[in-house]
Amino acid sequence: MDMPLPADPHAITTEAQLRAVYEQPLEGPLKKVTHRIEATARAWIAASPFCILSTVGSRGVHATPRGDAPGFVAVEPDGSLLIPDRRGNNRLDALRDILEDDRVSVIFFVPGASEVLRVHGRARITADPALCARFIERGKAPATVLVVTVHELFMQCAKSIMRSRLWGDVRRPAGLPTMGQLIAAHRADGQVDPAAYDAEAPERLNQTMY
């Protein structure tokens, strides 16, 4: 029989308690959010061979990997995402969640790049033969395609991947948009100089890594 865990006298159970142990967020992270897939985000997704799809349903929450050659996730002219469901273990955790609750989050990784792109939206599942045929690989089409309507997206800073040394010696792909370029494209107020942001980034990251 499992023994109950002792009460934690330091447990944080309210937002006020949470805020008390963290500094206030800077203006930049609050304003770097946009609500559309624009040119720099499109280029990032085209370079990404791997993403994590997060969902929630009555059976709990799930985070499932999705991967293929760079650009395996397509961006439609209207800014929606098309994610083919390649062959897997057929548990269908994420897809069953979406049938109950269509809210999803997707994080796009690019090997060699320390930033990630976070996308939030709503998804639907389709078995449209014409749409599935667009994603045929090695003669096999995916069983379904996930269509994600994007409601919000923003870049996540580089610290976590830099601390983990996730990519080792893998180099950043040539031509991939920089963090400065991405944030400048996503901020509506036009107050970010991409070149200046990128020039200051190494020292800023070094000083705030821990």
Residue 58: phi, psi to the nearest 5? -65, -20
Distance CA 144, CA 164 (A): 34
pLDDT over 80 at 2, yes or no: no
Q: What is the pLDDT of the chain when averaged over all its residues?
A: 94
Cβ neighbours, 10 Å, residue 168: 7
CA distances from 55 to 49, 94, 99, 100 (A): 20, 6, 10, 10
DSSP-assigned states of every residue in 170-199: PPPPTTPPPHHHHHHHH-TT----HHHHHH
In the predicted model, what is the mean pLDDT of residues 67-82? 97
How confident is the model over 26-67, as pLDDT tens digits? 888 888 899 999 999 999 999 999 999 999 999 999 999 999
pLDDT given for residue 201 in this prediction: 93
DSSP-assigned states of every residue in 101-133: --EEEEEEE-TT-S-EEEEEEEEEEE--HHHHH
Distance CA 73, CA 81 (A): 7
Place 134 in a pLDDT band, splitting at 50, 70 and 90: very high
Q: Which residues contact 57 (CB under 8 A, 6 or more apart)?
A: 96, 97, 98, 99, 100, 101
Closest-CA residue to 55 (of 83, 33, 78): 83
Contact (CB, 8 A) for 68 and 83: no
pLDDT over 70 at 206, yes or no: yes
pLDDT given for residue 27 in this prediction: 82
In the predicted model, what is the mean pLDDT of residues 8-23? 94
Q: Which two tokens stand for residue 46?
A: 């085209």
In the predicted model, what is the mean pLDDT of residues 175-200? 94
pLDDT over 80 at 187, yes or no: yes
Contact (CB, 8 A) for 14 and 167: no
pLDDT over 70 at 117, yes or no: yes
pLDDT over 70 at 106, yes or no: yes
pLDDT given for residue 5 in this prediction: 78
The residues pairing with 61 across neighbouring beta strands, listed in sequence order, are 56
In the predicted model, what is the mean pLDDT of residues 120-136? 98
pLDDT given for residue 26 in this prediction: 80
pLDDT given for residue 1 in this prediction: 58
**Structural class in CATH, domain 27-207:** mainly beta
Place 188 in a pLDDT band, splitting at 50, 70 and 90: confident
pLDDT given for residue 29 in this prediction: 80
Q: Which two tokens stand for residue 40?
A: 């720099």
In the predicted model, what is the mean pLDDT of residues 136-159? 96
